[in-house]
Amino acid sequence: MNGPAAALRDTGAGAGPGGLPHARPAAAAGTGPEAEVLAGLSHGVLHSLARRDQRRSGELYIRGLLAASGRKTIRNIASHTGVPADAQRLHHFISDSTWRWGPVRAALARHMGALAPPRAWVVRTATMPRTGRGGVGAEHVADPHTGRSRTAQRAVGLWAASEWGGYPVDWHLRLSPRWLGDARLREQAGIPAGTVALDPLEAGLEMVLDSARTAGAPHRPVLLDARQASAGRVAALLGAEDFPYVLRISPSQLLTPLTADGRATGRVATARQLAGGLAPRRFSRVRAPGPWAGHHEVARVPCRTADTPPGPQRRQLLLAQRDLLSPLHTAFWLTDLTVWPTSALVQLAATSEQVARDAAGPGRRTGLYDFEGRTFAGWHRHITLASTAHAAALLLLSRNHGGPRRPTSPAGRRPRSKEAL
């Protein structure tokens, strides 16, 4: 998969900072390929807004996110129109209006699902640094790179991984008990009654079950990090809803190995122990794409999670992926796509890191991390339109490179021949 973070640098004339296409004057005037893409996306995504002025403000906001350089403040977003009053207009549209972001996200998922069909669904967390007093949900968190404390918002996004890159279709803003339990904070930020705290895994599963179906591609594999959770429970929830999955699991995850005919051996071991006890011939050499580019040693172990809840149990597969340049670093994955070739599973597992690069590159340049307001509704409206701008950049990329192609990797739908054990 060619992510926008790399390929957008090759789009030539009309590229903005970092190579990201932005709206040219021709697009603002209603002509040119950019105008066609943006008009089609705006019509397809913003049709749920009840009023014409809301739809127009939404389109102006999306165009401004693509056209503005630097941090996407509302003043900067509005500057491309040349109308001073538009800054106040867009501020009201984001912060004080009453339009609902849920239907807009659903429309985005459907529209993009037809134009850039998902190959997989990726649940990933995001840390969004804030300055000053921060905004709704802001907390002091440790920087994973420096260890220093900083003020940031934390969110969970559901991303569709397509032929041309990843794009987000839904979001959950994480709120700590401090925000949910303080009546004054709730009132100041406009946090709706009934809002509850969800951990990243719960939020991700909820979005998968709701949003992936909306896009018309419910049977694509789901990738998420289950290293801090019960992988058996997560697998059972996804399997019950007919979602194939590839879960990143902890080396200490307890598994029961299976015999060739699918019978449990009766012994339980950790993922690390199972991989460590394999003969060298059980590892095959596979070339990994993306951030993990290079040859890896990969082993497959038929298994079942030891913490699987009671009920029908499907065959599972442990994938142990060892970097040849760093043998001590082994990634462990759990999947029910047991008939997929090893090379295809390795490529699929790499999708998570490729989406992370799309979020860190084009995602930053289209404003996903730049909300400057302080309210719950404002954050959700901004990130909904920033997600739409990110999708627009992806469509412009695909147009410049000949348009999306149909996926050539194995289909995500679970094979019918697989039976519950």
Other Cβ atoms less than 10 A from the Cβ of 96: the count is: 10
- pTM of structure: 0.85
Mean pLDDT of 340-349: 93
- The predicted structure's pLDDT at residue 102: 94
More confident call, 404 vs 23: 404
- Whole-number percent of the chain with pLDDT over 90: 51
- The predicted structure's pLDDT at residue 148: 82
- Whole-number percent of the chain with pLDDT over 70: 84
Alpha carbon distances (Å) from 76 to 61, 63, 143, 170, 353: 10, 11, 28, 25, 31
3 state DSSP class of 122 = strand
Cα 386 from Cα 36, distance rounded (Å): 19
Cα 58 from Cα 65, distance rounded (Å): 11
Mean pLDDT of 96-104: 94
Considering only CA atoms, which of 333, 340, 320 is closest in space to residue 234? 333
Other Cβ atoms less than 10 A from the Cβ of 342: the count is: 17
Mean pLDDT of 150-162: 92
pLDDT at 3 over 50: no
- The predicted structure's pLDDT at residue 402: 62
- The predicted structure's pLDDT at residue 401: 64
3 state DSSP class of 138 = coil
More confident call, 327 vs 356: 356
pLDDT at 29 over 50: no
Q: Mean of the per-residue pLDDT values for the chain?
A: 83
Mean pLDDT of 150-166: 92
The mean-pLDDT minimum among 44-48, 136-140, 296-300, 413-417 falls in 413-417
Cα 138 from Cα 375, distance rounded (Å): 11
pLDDT at 229 over 60: yes
More confident call, 16 vs 395: 395
With beta carbons less than 8 A apart as the criterion, state whether 14 and 22 touch.
yes
Mean pLDDT of 309-324: 85
- The predicted structure's pLDDT at residue 2: 39
More confident call, 35 vs 415: 35
- The predicted structure's pLDDT at residue 341: 94
With beta carbons less than 8 A apart as the criterion, state whether 132 and 148 touch.
no
Mean pLDDT of 383-406: 80
The mean-pLDDT minimum among 119-123, 141-145, 224-228 falls in 141-145
Cα 254 from Cα 232, distance rounded (Å): 9
pLDDT tens for 241-268 read: 889 999 999 999 999 999 877 788 878 9
- Please report which residue ranges of 295-412 form alpha helices under DSSP H: 342-349, 351-360, 362-365, 376-400
Considering only CA atoms, which of 123, 104, 113 is closest in space to residue 57? 104
Mean pLDDT of 359-367: 86
pLDDT at 281 over 80: yes
**pLDDT band at residue 53 under the 50/70/90 scheme:** very high
- The predicted structure's pLDDT at residue 13: 31
Helix axis angle, 33-46 to 376-400, nearest 10°: 140
**pLDDT band at residue 363 under the 50/70/90 scheme:** confident
Mean pLDDT of 12-18: 34
pLDDT at 157 over 90: yes
